[in-house]
A and B are shown apart, each in its own frame.
Chain A
Amino acid sequence: MAMALTVSQMFIGAVSIGIAFFRGTEVNAAFHMETTLSHANYGASKLAMDHARAANVVVNNNVAMGAIMGPRFGVESDNITMDANAAIACPTCPYGATCTVCKQYIQNKPRALIKLVWVRAKQQLLWGTLGKLSGDIDKLSFQQASGLIKGDVSKADSKVKMSFSDPSEGGDIWGGGNADVACDLAMKDTLPSPVTGHAFQVPLIKPNLLEGMPKMLVQMMPKIICKATSAMNNGGKGGSAPEDQPKLGDIKEVAEKTQKDCQELEDQMRCAASPGTCGMSTQAQVDEIDASVGKMAIPRDAQEFVSCGSAPQNAGAGFFYRNGGGGLTTCTFDRAKCEDKKLGENSDNYMRDKIGLPKVVSNLAQSLGGSETRKPSEGAKSNPSNFCTCATSSKPVDETMIGISDAVRKIASMGSAQPSEALRKQRQYTSCGRWYFPQRKGEFASTPDDEMPFVAAWKWNETMRCGQ
């Protein structure tokens, strides 16, 4: 009897102890998961935080790059306007009324030129250096953060291994150039400021014979200096429409060329209408043409200034020809329209060829100093899909725990249970973080999409995985 009692008690005792041990291994596995996952959470939070800061650094770079562009616009415009003043005033010397302007120009131009050289050099240096940094910053951030994370986790638990999946390893995530927006913002910022026309407020030249030209040029600068840009070329925001072009009719050379161009176009039309009068007249005059072909072929360049229509028999102005039906057709050449357009074109050419307005650029980044301001490579978006990073932590389950669990399972199954594969499997946990611009609601909801790369408000949060 005593023996029976002892055996049954031992059995119950063994079962009780087994249950306790088994439960202990379960609790251990649960805490293993919790603490290992916490390392992944730390990794993801640190990576995302550093990337969010990198995003705000890129914004700061963009802003500093834009901030120097405004003064460059102002100084460029002042220098061009001064040169244009000289072109008007100097031919009148020594007795002309505006010769004083020429003398002021000769005296003060070197100072203006020093400013111009300085601002061009600094702008290019700033754009080159900061633009390159914007391209590298995410890679640098990731390298630094991953090293710190591994070190911190290793100190906390040397058995935990960390690995990362970061977009900076695959290329530039701030890749797309947005010099157009930078220049546009710079122009809008500079236009109402004392920067615009400053040389004539100091004044280096007084009076400015081309009042309003500095302002007009500042408006044009995004198109001129940041030429290869979508916004500017589309005639959109900040770009200068043709009617905004400065007209330098006061400069004799420009005025003469404009008159000559339009005269040539008018002559071409006359030649087409009446070959007999080619080159003989410098003024519009009435010609009657017997157009056996029925219709006059107007030269292509002149077409936009010519308007034709049926005319009464006694029509007194313009160029006539008799059309195929026997009626008269009159064509007139709009000299004023031609001169207005040609004056704008010739003024632009004059500024580029004679005054040093920057030439049309073929490589924008190169012309601006080697790099551009940047936006997310996916475009001006608040939440690009590649602005997301993940950290994975892994750690084996303690061997003693696995041994206990196996032993209990074996006893409970009367020896049939196999060693646990689940416990031996490497357990790893992943956590991710994304960074984004808080666009949809709150303080920054009013920021336009294309200006988000110029507003330092990028934030981060943790997420289960990227791509969701």
Chain B
Amino acid sequence: MINPVSNVLEAAMVMGWFAILVLGERSGSSATDARRYAETSAEQTATASSANQCQPQQVNVMNATSSPSVISNGKPQVAAAVALIQALGLGQQRTFPNYIKPLLNVLVSSKSIADAVPGEVNPGGKSFEGFRNLGCSEKPLDTPKGSMDQYRQRLWQLNLEGY
């Protein structure tokens, strides 16, 4: 004969375990979601800023916030060319900055805080972070016909005109 009391007790305990399982799942899910939001926010912010010629674009995902910063990350190694061209008096031309502009990266850090869930293992308030780094696109400096006339005019006026 089965003792109804033990049945009730066992059922209660099984349900208790399930309750704990569900709460655990919610707790884990809350933390995973927070991390996911942080990663996605960082990814989208970096991509948007990079594609926008390094003008910072902020993409927030759910409660995640991102902060893009544009940093200089190297310069073309063209010192010989710059010295030679500047010695001819050139340097103000539209495309000259291609020699000297720093190469830019967009560096994004994002942060997301997990939602609170009932139970003892509560990730609520715990902070998750994401990081991304991307090279930036650049706005073309030239016109479809090129800039040879600009270089030629200046070079001529400074060095050869007048005899």
Residues of A within 8 A of B (CB): 1, 5, 8-9, 12-13, 16, 19-20, 23-24, 27, 31, 34-35, 38, 41-42, 45-50, 52-54, 56-57, 59-61, 63-64, 66-68, 70-71, 74-75, 108, 111-112, 115, 118-119, 122, 125-126, 129-130, 133, 137, 140-141, 144-145, 148, 152, 156, 185-186, 189-190, 193-195, 198-199, 202, 204, 438, 443-447, 451, 454-461
Are A64's CB and B90's CB within 8 A? yes
Are B84's CB and A20's CB within 8 A? no
Of the four ranges (under 10, 10 to 19, 20 to 34, 35 or more), the interface on chain B belongs to 35 or more
Contacts of B117 in A (CB 8 A): none
> Chain B 80-107, CB within 8 Å of chain A: the 1/0 string?
1100110010100001101101010100
Residue among A46, A140, A447 with the highest chain B CB neighbour number at 10 A = A46
Question: Could you list 8 further interchain pairs (A-B, Cβ under 8 angstroms) beyond the known A70-B148, A456-B95, A457-B142?
Answer: A8-B10, A12-B14, A60-B81, A63-B147, A64-B90, A115-B160, A129-B81, A185-B146
Partner of A63, one of B10, B80, B131, B151: B151
**A16-B152 contact in complex given A45-B135, A64-B90, A455-B142, C-beta closer than 8 Å:** no
Chain A residue with Cβ nearest B153 = A193
Are A49's CB and B136's CB within 8 A? yes
Chain B residue with Cβ nearest A130 = B81
Complex Cα–Cα for A53 and B133 (A): 18
Contacts of A61 in B (CB 8 A): 81
B13 proximal to A (CB < 8 A): yes
Complex Cα–Cα for A60 and B151 (A): 10
Contacts of B10 in A (CB 8 A): 5, 8
Are A71's CB and B141's CB within 8 A? no
Contacts of B78 in A (CB 8 A): 57, 133, 137
Complex Cα–Cα for A45 and B39 (A): 18
Are A193's CB and B152's CB within 8 A? yes
Are B24's CB and A20's CB within 8 A? yes
Contacts of A57 in B (CB 8 A): 76, 78, 81, 98-99
Are A48's CB and B148's CB within 8 A? no
Interface residues of B in 109-163 (CB under 8 A from A): 131-138, 140-149, 151-153, 155-156, 159-163
Q: What's the minimum C-beta distance from B126 to chain A, rounded to whole angstroms?
A: 15
Are B135's CB and A42's CB within 8 A? yes
Contacts of A46 in B (CB 8 A): 73, 103, 105, 134-135
Partner of A5, one of B9, B77, B136: B9
Complex Cα–Cα for A446 and B143 (A): 10
Are A115's CB and B136's CB within 8 A? no
Partner of A456, one of B17, B28, B136, B140: B140
Complex Cα–Cα for A193 and B144 (A): 20
Are B138's CB and A49's CB within 8 A? yes
Are A63's CB and B17's CB within 8 A? no
Q: What's the minimum C-beta distance from A211 to chain B, rounded to whole angstroms?
A: 19
Are B99's CB and A68's CB within 8 A? no
Are A60's CB and B98's CB within 8 A? yes
Residue among B20, B24, B77, B96 with the highest chain A CB neighbour number at 10 A = B77
Partner of A64, one of B14, B74, B151: B151
Complex Cα–Cα for A460 and B133 (A): 16
Are A49's CB and B103's CB within 8 A? yes
Complex Cα–Cα for A38 and B46 (A): 10
Complex Cα–Cα for A111 and B162 (A): 10
Complex Cα–Cα for A1 and B1 (A): 12
Are B161's CB and A198's CB within 8 A? yes
Chain B residue with Cβ nearest A12 = B17
Complex Cα–Cα for A192 and B98 (A): 28
Contacts of A185 in B (CB 8 A): 146, 148
Contacts of B24 in A (CB 8 A): 16, 20
Contact sample, A vs B, 21 pairs, CB 8 Å cutoff: A5-B9, A16-B24, A20-B28, A38-B133, A41-B134, A50-B135, A53-B98, A56-B98, A60-B96, A63-B95, A64-B85, A66-B152, A68-B152, A71-B156, A133-B78, A152-B133, A193-B149, A198-B160, A199-B163, A451-B145, A454-B146
Contacts of B9 in A (CB 8 A): 5
Are A5's CB and B13's CB within 8 A? yes
Q: What's the minimum C-beta distance from B32 to chain A, rounded to whole angstroms?
A: 5
B50 proximal to A (CB < 8 A): yes
**A202-B148 contact in complex given A52-B138, A64-B85, A68-B155, C-beta closer than 8 Å:** no
Are B163's CB and A186's CB within 8 A? no
Are B144's CB and A444's CB within 8 A? yes
Contacts of A13 in B (CB 8 A): 17
Partner of A446, one of B74, B144, B152: B144
Contacts of A193 in B (CB 8 A): 149, 152-153, 156
**A53-B76 contact in complex given A16-B21, A61-B81, A71-B156, C-beta closer than 8 Å:** yes
Are A63's CB and B146's CB within 8 A? yes
